[in-house]
Each structure stands twice: as C-alpha cells, then as structure tokens.
Structure 1
C-alpha cells in the first residue's frame, strides 16, 4: 500500500475510533474494529473507491454491528456484568464534543441506555446525533432505506429520552461542586447529608470492585447513601484489595464528574456521577482492571492535581 493510501486512512483513524467507541462502549474493541477496517482498506481495490471517507465509515460501522450481533457480545451484555469503558477527559477516542448531542452520546449514561436499542437503532442514533450524517448518508452506510433510517432514529431518540430523565446540560463547575460535597459527606460518615444530595429516583450501579459475577444495583436514596458510605469507609481488607491507601481525585470521565481512587499512581477504581438539578441522579462504580487500562494509561500521562481526599 502506498503512502498516500496510508495517509488517507490515518486522516480518518480518529473519527473511525470515536464512532466505533460510541457503538461498542469499549475503547479496546473500538481499536480492534479500526484495525480490521485498515486491513479491509489495505485489501480493497482503492482505485474504485470514489469516496474513501464514506467507504471507511461504512466498513467500520458494519464491523461494529457484526460485533454487537455476535453470540459472545449478546451473552456478555445480557449477563448483567457489562458497563461501558470509562475514559478520562481529553482522550481523543471520545471524539467530537462541540454540541450537546455529541457530548451526551459519549456519556456513560447514554452509552448504557443504548444497550437497550437494537444494533441498527444504535448505529443510526450515533451516526445522526454524534456525527450529523443525513438520513440519505446513513441509508447508504447501513444498506437500508432513507425512510427506515428516519424511523430508527425516531425510535432511538424516543427510547433514550424516555429513560434519560435529564432536563438539559449541567454546568461542569456546578456538577463538580456537588460531587466534592458528596465526597466530603461520604468520607465524614454524614449519611443524612448524603441522602439530601441524592435525587428521589437515584440509582447506583457497581461492578463490585471487579469481583462480582453480576452488577450490583441500588435504588432509593437511603440504600444508595448506605452503600456509598460503606464503600468509602476504610478497612484493612479494602486496603489489601486496592493495594494500598488510595488518594481520591475529582476529574472528568466521559464528560461527567468522577471520583478516582488512586494508589501509587494507579487508578484502582472510579465512580462516575450524573448530576441533575444540583443533586446526584446516578452513580456508576467501575473497578475491574480490564475496564480501567486505557484510563490508567491516560492518568499516567496526566499532571494530577492535589487529591481532594487523603483519608485512608
């Protein structure tokens, strides 16, 4: 393959990876899909490809759909152990973030909700909302009619909006202040203050420090507050599990405020918050090492600020 063909692909790599991440919810799987796309590009009769960008988009999208439809993926995601892979703010695979829709499409909340869409609905939603493709272009990418693309987009938007329960975009600085107050209350053991900082319909999901066979789910303000308080309470067993005493940093993960538990420069776990109307509406706790590999790599390149808490 000549240098011009390689340069043509490399110019699209970032966009392809961002698209694949939104479709698959995993940076590792997204990179695999992009590499497979490169192999297809290498083997293609490129002189007959009139629009390389459209060709590459079609290939990576359909490779992602094949992965979503695979028996293995259906089993893993239906088994109740799957959460999207969290990514630190500034990771290029997060892709475009110029519009509210683009930022929403990469949040852990929306990536999780998209699991309830069919693979085609998910693809249409991402191509339309995050990348502003026309329905005619989407029809060509997915091999469906323009009318079908419009119908899929309407169903996807309706389902996501019905369960999103978020009135609009939250100011990042305000959201961070809520999370810092929440973290301070959790560390101090002020359970009543934790309850007051939660919405009435709050939910919490955790992978059980990466050890649970299924995701742990909590509802009601009292149960979530109790779970959070127990999670932040230091014990010798937790120190052994974490590999030491963690320092807690507040950062942005997938566009939302998050708490990172860092031990000797390694992120041992993260809790990502969704803030609505000045209160915490949801928490997602991820500590499985295989879900934190890319975030850890980014954190090592990051100039960390002073830990918000060092109570352990």
Structure 2
C-alpha cells in the first residue's frame, strides 16, 4: 500500500482520500494460476484506459506494478491468488474539485484465491432482472471505477429474490451485463454477447471467450440483445476473471432450455482453462 507492504489489519488510508469520500478511483481484479498472473498486461491496459476516461493518470509505471504484484504473491507464498489493484485520485479538500487531489493512493491486495462453489458450475446459476439500469450512453461504462454502488444494490436485490446474481439492462431495456460479469448466449451457430455500445464492460475474459468461439465452429457475435431473446437462448453463461465461465440456467421465472448447463458452455470453460495454463 503506497510503496509499503503492510498487514491487512494495519493498512490505513487518509480520511480525505477521494477514493474513500467519492469512489474516485479505478481498479482491476486479477487472478494467478500457479504463481503466474493471467492476462496481466491486458488488465494493466484496461487500468490505464480507465484512468484515461476518469482523468486519473496512473503515476506508477507498469514495470513497478508488475514487480509489486509478483513480490506480494511470493511473500504470501501463494500459487493461486486473488489480486486487486486500485488507484485513487488521492487526498484533497472536501468537495468535488478534483484539482486539489495530491499523491495518488496505490492499493494492491493479494490473498489466497477462493473458488466459487462447485455446484454453481455443475447445476448452473439463476439471474434476476434488476431495477438498476446501466447507462450505455455514459463514458464511465468503459471504466472500472471504485464507485460500485449500482452493482452492489443490484446484487442485494438479487439476493433478496433468491437469485445468484443480478442481470442489468440498459436504458433501452436491452441486456448489458450482470452485476459482476459479462453474459453470453448460444443462438444456433452464434456465440452472442451484448455489444459494448449496449453498456457492457470490455471484459478480459469476454474477449478471450470470443476468440475461442471458432474452435467450436461458432460465430462470435457482439450485438444488442433483448431480454426475451436471452430467455429463449439455447444456452447462457457468465464470464469474469474470477469465475471464468459459469452456466446460467434460469433468468427470472424462465428456464434456459432444459435448465441444465449446456455442452457449449462446458466446452468453452474447458478451452478457457487450457488457455490459462
């Protein structure tokens, strides 16, 4: 944390840090497999892109960030690790004037990776449509910012309704993504995911899964997706760095196909696992 390696119980940050006061910062979540951080450069590319969108120029260079990440993995004696890298605009005067911010805060958390429950992959998960909308017209759709209230409220809503995660629509009522992941569906010979113009985040795992489609003789398609179309899909699944590829078997009260994880989903997950080795 800010060039110091500290125990999690001793980590402190200024009460005037804009990340604390306003969620004014950007972040990336990564995962290591057997001590190697998968797609590290892609994540750092996106961190810089988020910084460009929010006007937070990352003060530490890429070489330094990589060094610290791997040093923390080594110190904690981890093979499979969860990594969260956050950069705030820094501390400044109370108020929205960002020009008073000084000295960015760099926070890198590395801990043992805890996998999602195995039953999620064997039986699939349930989504419910959230009342929260994703603003596809906002530039912030392309950034991973520390202000995650929309996602948090959407997830809380899903939990109250007995679902695993929330499905976020955009302002036009089209499918955007889930609270924590991108979403895909299988339609005939197409592997479809909502386009970035729909409000979907440019997920790293999303990008990799699209590149794997041809290996299953599927056409990778990025386009606008309606809720009814998703519910009538042959298969559906979620993707992100931590969960990899997770089958969806129900959306609201509508079962996806036969209500079981599909063959394409399983095959995509297998190919993805091979790619991380």
- As a proportion of its length, which structure holds more strand? 2
TM-score by length of 2: 0.26
Q: If you compute each CA radius of gyration, which structure gives the higher value, 1 or 2? A: 1
